[in-house]
Structure 1
């Protein structure tokens, strides 16, 4: 590995550690708020079990999202946003 690249990587790791410890502020921050899972599911016309299968999660997880005991994060939140924005395209793509 190139020495300059290695030094940049080490610098990035040190910066990440400082941010994680609250010693530095991130240069930017992205927050993705997931849409309401129940509303999205109801708009698709799918049952809980069908929608959970589509999202690749358990029915119990979907129920927790719908009852706001848990909130989808990461890829699940992004997928919910996609299904919310373009349900026809998402359903066609995910049903294969």
Structure 2
């Protein structure tokens, strides 16, 4: 058996496992839970409009609106940046304006 066949078999098994997890047949081996981020409160603490806040953090206004309407969740670096704003809005703004 070549390395390609072995890797393909692992991939197929992973897909089958994902399907079983999605159907509720099997439990995931691990899961991640993130605390909810109140983007409206964070933005309001900056005293900025959606448009200006979006420009400040480098995302589209549609993205901010999606977060605020809870249609989307901030992930990765955007989530980290929002946590910085939540914890200390004036310092986060100062750092971005340097």
Quickly name the TM-score band, shorter chain normalised.
0.5 to 0.7
- Larger relative contact order (C-alpha < 8 A, sep ≥ 6)? 1
- Describe the shift of the 1:64–1:29 C-alpha distance in structure 2 as closer, same or farther (beyond 3 A): closer
- Residues of 2 paired with 1:9 and 1:42: CA distance? 46
Count of aligned positions: 92
Taking structure 2 as the reference length, the TM-score comes to 0.62
Contact 1:41–1:51 (Cα < 8 Å) also in 2: yes
* CA-atom RMSD in angstroms: 3.4
Unaligned runs of 5+ in 2: none
- Residues of 2 paired with 1:12 and 1:86: CA distance? 42
Q: Would you say 1:11 and 2:13 are equivalent positions?
A: yes
Larger Rg computed on CA atoms: 2
CA offset digits 1:8-50 (Å, max 9, x no partner) = 1111111001001111011111122331112211233422221
- Residues of 2 paired with 1:52 and 1:4: CA distance? 46
- Describe the shift of the 1:90–1:12 C-alpha distance in structure 2 as closer, same or farther (beyond 3 A): farther
Task: Report the more deviating stretch, 44-53 or 13-22.
Answer: 44-53
Match of 2:43 in 1: 41
